[in-house]
Amino acid sequence: MRHSKKVVLALGSNLGNRRENLAAALGMIGDFCRVAYCSRIYQTPPVGYADQRDFLNAALAAETDCDPFELLALCKALESKIGRRATFRNGPRAIDIDIIFYGDLSFEEEGLTLPHPRWSERDFVKTPLLDLFESGALASGFPIGVREILERTARAFAPYSAF
């Protein structure tokens, strides 16, 4: 028997109708996750490759019965369905979906590291996570240290819109 796991996913888009891409992803994520809370949307500058449009970013807290690799495969399939095409590292994309936390699981295997290895370095991830934290959606079931990092995090961006 499978047990539900709390997960946090981060979403980003900077190609096409960015807000529509995020909304489509959120709707389709509901096919394999029970979304408990979604952050507001934030407009953020690109990181790593500056010559591209700003991103819209959001995060969501959910529960899933999928194991981590099933969840990753479903997220990648959803990215393809929305129109993500392989380009280059940090390049523009119609949608990006990252698993930030999978419960309190901490591991590194080929193709997946949990928690996401750079989440605490990225304001475009931490700012939407603050919404989840402030809502209570990250109150329990996540890695030790998340609360402390978010308590020290200043909101780097103003909200762009709500879903």
Class of domain 5-119+128-161: alpha beta
Interaxial angle between packed helices 18-29 and 68-82, expressed in degrees from 0 to 180 and rounded to the nearest 10: 140
Question: What average pLDDT does range 74-84 have in this prediction?
Answer: 93
Q: What pLDDT score was predicted for residue 65? A: 97
Question: pTM for the complete prediction?
Answer: 0.91
Q: Which pLDDT band holds residue 162 (cuts at 50, 70, 90)? A: confident
Active-site residues: which are they? 84, 93, 96, 98
Distance from the Cα of residue 42 to its chain's centroid: 12
**Cis upstream peptide for 115 (omega within 30°):** yes
| H helix intervals, the chain | 18-29, 68-82, 123-135, 146-151
